[in-house]
Amino acid sequence: MAFLSKNFLLRTMRLLHRSKSTVNIPQKGLPSFVKIVEVGPRDGLQNEKSPVPTDVKVELINRLSDTGLQVVEATSFVSPKWIPQLADHREIMTQIKKYPGVNYPVLTPNVKGFEAAIEAGAKEVAMFIAASEAFSRKNTNCSIAESLERSQSLVNAAKEANIPVRAYVSCVIGCPYEGKIDPNKVAEVAKKMYEMGCYEISLGDTIGVGTPSAMQEVIRLVTQEIPVDKVAVHCHDTYGQALANIYAALQMGVSVVDSSVAGLGGCPYAKGATGNVATEDVVYMLDGLGIQTGVNLQKLIAAGDFISKALGRPTMSRVAKAMSSKL
């Protein structure tokens, strides 16, 4: 099992440093800066079957915080009965080093989880809702309409505490139970979450079946209802389409991208949903497009190497693998 050596990482740093002599200018129509929302510590690790020690999670978050990322989603305040991997949410929030300029949102599925998160020191929360009726019932045991009612209660509690709320909309292109999802339904759900008070809406291709044209159609309809600067994309790479879909989203004006270091993750409630797109691969692509992220790629690769070693398997990042093969 091959991992990245210290010599390789040093060599990568030198190559990247030399490459900076060529200044890339963003292509016309693309954003000049993209905010990356790192979801690895939460969405990436939640599906791991073997327990990941708390100190490993804390170290991963600290390493990611040192890369220049502005957002590192730390954990989820969900019942350990449903996701035992994240039962140590309180310990994580109290043990991580809080870097200046870095936000550490946590997922809170309900008001009870929200209250526990605030007690643990969370300053921002995220919530989720599905654009698929079947997925909503399988995942939360309620309809989309009922889920919206529950969401309003959480948002109201957050407003009272002056806590910003981000919303994930799952299954925006396809569902493991329903198949293709009507993009108009996605736009309807996104609009309701935005009007409810969520400051940003992340559109999730939960099972990774999307293609660039499908992604652009969803974004076209969603941005008829909410501003494009309030839209993010969250792409899984099940069919190898994640980077293409992200690029398609950039062409539509989206400038916020969710990703997971080392390509960790997969929705535990969506059969066949493999990992999120690797943050290393996203940063490499954006660097090549001349789009700023503020993220240090070599530090990011090192963080991915750290968690891959801790999990006992190679990184899923194609960029990290390709660089490793040059040794």
What residues are labeled active site?
A: 267
Residue 197 tokens read as: 């008070």
Please list, in sequence order, all residues whose beta carbon lies within 8 angstroms of the beta carbon of residue 169, skipping any fewer than 6 positions away.
128, 129, 130, 131, 186, 189, 190, 193, 201, 202, 203, 204
| Alpha carbons 94 and 75: distance in angstroms, whole number | 12
How far apart, in Å, do the first and last CA atoms of the chain sit?
15
| Alpha carbons 198 and 68: distance in angstroms, whole number | 25
Q: Residue 207 in contact with residue 172, Cβ under 8 Å?
A: no
| Alpha carbons 99 and 13: distance in angstroms, whole number | 23
Q: Residue 55 in contact with residue 306, Cβ under 8 Å?
A: no
Please list, in sequence order, all residues whose beta carbon lies within 8 angstroms of the beta carbon of residue 154, skipping any fewer than 6 positions away.
108, 110, 111, 114, 125, 127, 165
Residue 169 tokens read as: 């909309």
Residue 264 tokens read as: 């960790």
| Alpha carbons 207 and 76: distance in angstroms, whole number | 20
Residue 82 tokens read as: 């449903």
User: Smallest Cα–Cα separation from 236: which of 195, 268, 267, 190?
Assistant: 267
Residue for token pair 């750290």 = 306
